[in-house]
Amino acid sequence: MTTAGSPAIIQPPFDPRITTLAFPVGGAGYGSLQRGFMVWEQSIQGYESAAQMAFLYNPSSVTADYYMADSSVGASLMFPTGFNATNLRVPLNQSVEWSLLFDRTFELWGSYDSNGEPLQQNPSGGYNPAVVGVLADIYQMEQFTGMFIGYSSGNSTTTAPTATALTGHQGIIQLIPSYVYFGGNSAVNSLWYYGYVSEWDVTVTHWTQYMVPMRCVINVTFTMLPAATSGSGSSANPNANLTNPVGSAAAPSASSTISSILAGLTSTIPTSGVSGR
C-alpha cells in the first residue's frame, strides 16, 4: 500500500447553534457535548491521511450482536489461545449497528437568494454545507467507506478523490479497518469498536424549497475485527501509533484520551472554520 495521494477531505464543522447545548447531567452549565466519530486505522491507497466521520448527535442506541457460526469457529481454531503472536485479521460474526442523524438547517438558512442560487461558493471538493446541505455528510460517509477510489481491471488504484467526486454516488464500498468511538474522555468510559463498515444506508428526510437535502439519517452496520493490540492476544499493529504523524490510529489504552487519539492524526476533525466547532 502506498501513502501518496490526496489528503482526506475534512468534514465541514457543524453550526455552533446546534452543537452548543445545555448539559443534561451536571447542573445548568452549557458547552459542547462529547460526540462520537469514526476514523480509519490508517490511510488507504489514493489518500495520504486517514479519513474521519464526525457525529452530529450520538446515537440513542447501539446494538452489538455476537454469535458463533462456521466462519467464526474456523477463526477460533486459527487463533487457539490468547498467548501467541498471531495477528488475526478475520471478520468475526460480531457486528454493531447504530443510526446517525445529520441536520444542516442552520447552515442553509439564508444561504440562497430568491432565484434559488447559492450565496456562497462551493469549494473544489463540493462539500460546503451552505450549498449542498447534508450532502456534505453523505459525501463524507462515501469517502469513509472508500467509494471514491476507482480500480482498474488489474485491481490497481487508478483514481483518487477528484473535484467532481460529489457527482458520482455509486462507487464500490471498500473494506477499510477503522475505529468507532461513541464519545467519552478515555478508553475507560468510552464505548469503542474496531472493524469496518460493512453496510450503510441513508434516508434524506427534509429538503429546502430548492430541493437541497437538509436532514438525513444514516444507518450503519459495522463488522468487528479482532483488535490489533497485544492485550487481545494478537501482535501489536506496527502502524498503530498515537503519535505517528502519517495518519494512522491505534486502539486506545486506559490512559488514551480522545484528544490524544485525534492529535496523532494528520487530518483532524476541524476545530475552526466558517461555523467553528
- Mean pLDDT of each 10-residue bin along the chain, 277 residues long: 67 85 62 81 86 90 82 57 57 87 94 91 79 93 86 49 50 88 69 93 95 96 78 35 35 46 40 28
> What is the grid cell recorded at 76?
477460533
State residue 51's pLDDT score: 92
CB atoms within 10 A of CB 2: 11
- The reported pLDDT for the residue numbered 142 is 92
**Which grid cell is 82?**
490468547
Residue 205, all three cell numbers: 428526510
pLDDT of residue 163: 40
Residue pair 145/200 in contact by the 8 Å Cβ criterion? yes
Beta bridge partners of 178: 40, 195
**Cα separations in angstroms, 231 against 41, 235, 256:** 17, 9, 14
Q: Structure pTM?
A: 0.73
Regarding beta strands 191-207 and 150-151, do their DSSP bridges make them parallel or antiparallel, or are they unpaired?
unpaired
pLDDT of residue 246: 32
The gap from C-alpha 261 to its chain's centroid, in whole angstroms, comes to: 14
Question: How far, CA to CA in Å, does 222 sit from each of 14, 76, 195, 233?
Answer: 24, 20, 7, 22
